[in-house]
Chains A and B, each alone.
Chain A
């Protein structure tokens, strides 16, 4: 028998809340948040490079002062941490590229491996060129 009041129209739902620490729950979430955080360190390297170029432009004394400052323990530590994050940034984004880019050559989908390998090849070529430029 259907009760005279009919079916309940307003269901009482339980709405779970997302914890502030949701990103510590799973390794993949943690790596994602670290990847997002790495962009701050990418920005720091840009600032560092601008400061470096500016010091070079100011002449010999400013360049020496910059080198002394860059050799101070806290700047060294900051740069090492930044390097680790920039490497994480590079590796994670390189791995994600084939998903974002569906490259087709002659009607065939280019395999993920080739896209990732292409990026690492580009990285090696550019790094080798910079190394040659700095040390020649």
Chain B
């Protein structure tokens, strides 16, 4: 194995550059080093002006998502040795505005997420609170939504989604997967409220089932599945509204 590998990093400094350009750095190629380790090596000793986000280094905080050789990846779980002999291209996540170097602006997602009400909604909107009541759940009831609760908001799915790239109004994979997570929760009664948001033109019907969100998800959440199931729910709700009297819906 060669003892170094070249990182080809996309640089954008808003005060100087009108568009991003490439900058190359040689970093040690070690078996246990991830792309994030390579970037930190640059940041710590070679070029302190390089900007990127990271935190936990163990694939759970969802901060270090970047585009590595054209694929959205968590850089803390992507090993340099898999790209030997290099060079490895590192770009910011696609489909987001770039703030600086590898840092993207996530405010669009932050505005969209609360629209799907990702929290437990009770019948009376929690006006009656029983502090000493436990809402028990069986293992089967937990199993129904657990997969969708694994989302770490790393934005890899938005970066992989061509629909979101072409139409930024689309509410997007992670937000819909989180809506499904609460819909499937046996303690929740908010299905109708979320459906009202997601049947809008920027909701589930924007999805054309490319399936890339699921392929790139580091947590195996399968947002594509959540979206297709929502489409089925939305269609059934429309048919029911058409066929059944009000009380039976």
Contact = CB atoms under 8 A, between A and B. Distances in A.
B232 A16 contact: no
Contact of A14 (B97, B212, B222, B231): B97
B41 interface: no
Contact of B97 (A15, A28, A32): A15
A26 B165 CA distance: 15
A16 to B, nearest CB: 7
A77 B242 CA distance: 45
A1 B154 CA distance: 34
Q: For chain B, which range describes its interface: under 10, 10 to 19, 20 to 34, or 35 or more residues?
A: 20 to 34
- Contact-residue bracket for chain A: 20 to 34
B70 A96 contact: no
A37 B212 CA distance: 18
B69 to A, nearest CB: 11
Contact of A99 (B14, B94, B212, B222): B222
Contacts of A14: 12, 14, 17, 19-20, 97-98
Nearest to A107: B140
A16 B98 contact: yes
B161 to A, nearest CB: 11
A13 B99 contact: yes
| Residue from B99, B166, B210 with most neighbouring chain A CB atoms (10 Å) | B210
Contact of A13 (B95, B97, B140): B97
